[in-house]
Structure 1
């Protein structure tokens, strides 16, 4: 399995655990005010990270490109900024943290655009970017 796939899958599991924890906290407290953050943790952290990992697992030539690791780094940093801030904003009622949520969201959006570039790049582009031509 390509390294970037493994990283995305491991990151997905961490977010699954965090999402379950957030859900349990809401259920135990009876306060479901942070449910949008819980949904983002599960959908962006768990599901989307796992999908990215699966894509790279099925496309190992693209997974070996440097841009795949840039994608992983951007996406993960964006989530780490956005998700705790969103949870804190909603659960603890801190609207002043919204600019931090916005910054994290913009980083996540940049990572998704990076992934779109990777997906739409052709196999020939991938080969020429990763393998030097024989002389």
Structure 2
């Protein structure tokens, strides 16, 4: 695995490790208040980023060009902003970061849809 596929997958594994650690902490403390933020770290961070990485690995021509780089940037920024944003929202410290992360995440998926339909077919 190399290039964008590797970056997606490597970042996904970091998110998985952090998500598992956070889950263990919540279980040990008995405080599951932040479960929604934890779930988003696991689903957007681990599962979604890993699936993106797998796609780019299986369809390397899709990883070529600017669109895949834009996708990577939006996806990573989405996870980096939505998880702490949800944490802050649950803590009644504002929802702005969660909203920004949500927009970045859906834009990332929109770009991915475009990549799949324009670059995803075998040559």
| Number of equivalences | 123
Structure 1 pair 116/123, CA: closer, same or farther in 2 (3 Å)?
Answer: closer
- The 3-state SS of whatever aligns with 2:115 is helix
Conservation of the 8 A alpha-carbon contact between 1:41 and 1:83 = yes
Name the Cα RMSD after superposition: 1.8
- The 3-state SS of whatever aligns with 1:32 is coil
* Cα distance in 1 between the residues matched to 2:115 and 2:100: 23
1:12 aligns with 2:12: yes
Conservation of the 8 A alpha-carbon contact between 2:85 and 2:96 = no
Shift of 1:123: 6.1
Q: Which runs of 5+ in 1 are unaligned?
A: 128-135
Larger radius of gyration: 1
Moved over 2 A (4+): 87-90
Structure 1 pair 45/28, CA: closer, same or farther in 2 (3 Å)?
Answer: same
Q: Which runs of 5+ in 2 are unaligned?
A: none
1:3 aligns with 2:13: no
Pick from 92, 106, 115 the counterpart of residue 118 of structure 1.
115
Shift of 1:76: 0.2
Shift of 1:69: 1.2
Shift of 1:2: 3.7
- The 3-state SS of whatever aligns with 1:97 is coil
* Cα distance in 1 between the residues matched to 2:48 and 2:77: 14
